[in-house]
Amino acid sequence: MNFTPSRKNLALEKLKKVSCDHDLQLYREIPDININLDEFEEWAIERLKVLQILEQLSLKGNTSNYEDFTKSVVHEIKKEGLKHMHKLINGGIYKDYNENCDARKRDLCSHFILRLIYCKSDELRKWFINREIELFKLRWSLLSKSDKLKFLSSNNTNYSAVSEEEYKIMADSMGSFTTAGNNNEYFKVRWTQVLDLVRNRKVYLCDGFAYVIQTDVISGVCQTFRSELSQELVKSFQKFSIISEDERFGTFIKYLHQSYMGKNYSVTENMSTLSINTIDHSSKSFPLCMKRLHVVLRSEHHLKHQARQQYGLFLKGAGLPLEQALILWRSEFTKKMDADKFDKQYSYNIRHNYGKEGKKVNYTPYSCMKIIMGAVGLDEYHGCPYKHTNSQALKQLLETSNISTQSIQEILNLSQNGHYQIACTKYFEAHNGISPSCTAINHPNQFFEESQKLKGFYVESNTNDSHVNDSPMVDDIDNTEFDQTIVDFVDEMDK
């Protein structure tokens, strides 16, 4: 891909350089087209959001009925305002041929941009391949029969139609595998391309060919796509160090996979107002990562630097004013040190986070991905409990959170399989008795905001009158046992 500072896109150039023959692609050739840097970033983010929606919905267990799952994905993509991808995925065709090319151009380019971003490690490559396969399957399922046939013929997939003569000879044998009624519904392909169908005895084998019903063709195509994409990602990684040195987009491709693309919680005007008088009560709406830090602060009267950053910025995003933050931290820390030491060593950093010192930057609360990707050392309590806490310790925390054994096991399984944000979302559901309005939790402040809304504490406003209702919550659970578990955990580490 080339880059141009101009925003102007010429229709003729698009028609010449972009394959507009089909909505669905195997992405075998890098598109030789000009795009500007704004498009480079916008299209990559758009596709990444789609892949994240697929992951979040599939991990929430919505795939048992694939038709319903497809509808859910399409609905979420539309809700997120991803109109170009929504159009392509939903099988819609623009009336204008140039608009068709535009949508397909975005699809091609965004795929190859994300290849650069997700080629850097085995873990990232695996995630990207699985999500792209899911997206491919979903888009295939929404194609018409004629479009599926067109795709197979134009992509050299090695599938060929079964002739009338072959069908007559093998009709009885093939009929034992499927209820298809005519040769137009069968394809044949080398059996090595459909190993999973062979394994599940869903094809008829003869002379090295597998005879496949049309609805099962996707299995072989995906196997080919997976193999090719895996090889291409390795090739991309071999060139990554050179490409990432380009100052125009090097930083973007290095860090997009860690980026948070949701609400900006550094802007607190529309957040519920937290105070030192309500913080203990409001902590019942904190995500597990922040709840742990709150309890450790109350019990140990100290947090190390990274923990202070993670928790302090979270409180700021939740609406705790600077003056109240200084009172909170001072009241805890001075239980172990004198006030003069606190003012000299710690108060500057608190004011700095609120943009009142140094360069006066309005620092943003940490997103889930930033917390997950961070390092946590010995005797430190920041980080993500679903990633940075061992299974036994996490289980003990969950067991004292008044959630069911089944939910605990589901959360542990998600955590062990690396689905940390989905584990947090499952905890939200188990803790609150209802799913959040979002597809998945991507930010600790999002967890808090959603939980407060459910409990009637959060009042959203376009003015500075947003506030927390100070009346007690009727359905709140007692956190004493949870708090004591963390205290015991801290004591055990100190030994």
Q: Which of 156-170, 267-281, 293-307, 451-465 has the highest mean pLDDT?
A: 293-307
Tokens of 353: 């986070």
CB-count burial class (<10 Å; 0-12, 13-18, 19+) for 130: middle
| pLDDT at res. 16 | 44
Ranges of beta strands (E only) in 66-208 are 160-161, 186-190, 204-206
What's the confidence (pLDDT) of residue 183? 55
Query: Distance between alpha carbon 32 and the CA centroid of its chain, in Å?
Result: 29
The pairing of strands 209-213 and 34-35 is unpaired
Residue 172 pLDDT > 80, yes or no? no
Cα(353)–Cα(272) distance, rounded to whole angstroms?
A: 19
With beta carbons less than 8 A apart as the criterion, state whether 110 and 41 touch.
no
Check whether 69 has a pLDDT greater than 80.
yes
* pLDDT band for position 226 (cuts 50, 70, 90): very high
CA geometry: angle at 211 spanning 208 and 214, to 5°?
145
Q: Is the pLDDT of residue 343 over 60?
A: yes
Query: What is the per-residue pLDDT across 359-413, written as a single tens digit (0 to 9) for each?
Result: 888 888 998 888 988 889 888 999 999 999 999 999 988 988 889 999 999 999 9
Element holding 419 (H helix, E strand):
none
Q: Which two three-digit tokens encode residue 89?
A: 């995925």
Query: What's at 417, amino acid-wise?
Result: N
Q: How far is CA 23 from CA 108, 154, 267, 301, in A?
A: 10, 12, 40, 59
Whether the predicted pLDDT of 197 surpasses 50:
yes
Pairing of strands 34-35, 2-3: parallel
Q: Which helix (H) or strand (E) holds 42?
A: helix 37-59
Dihedrals phi, psi of 251, to nearest 5 degrees: -65, -40
Residue 329 confidence (pLDDT): 97
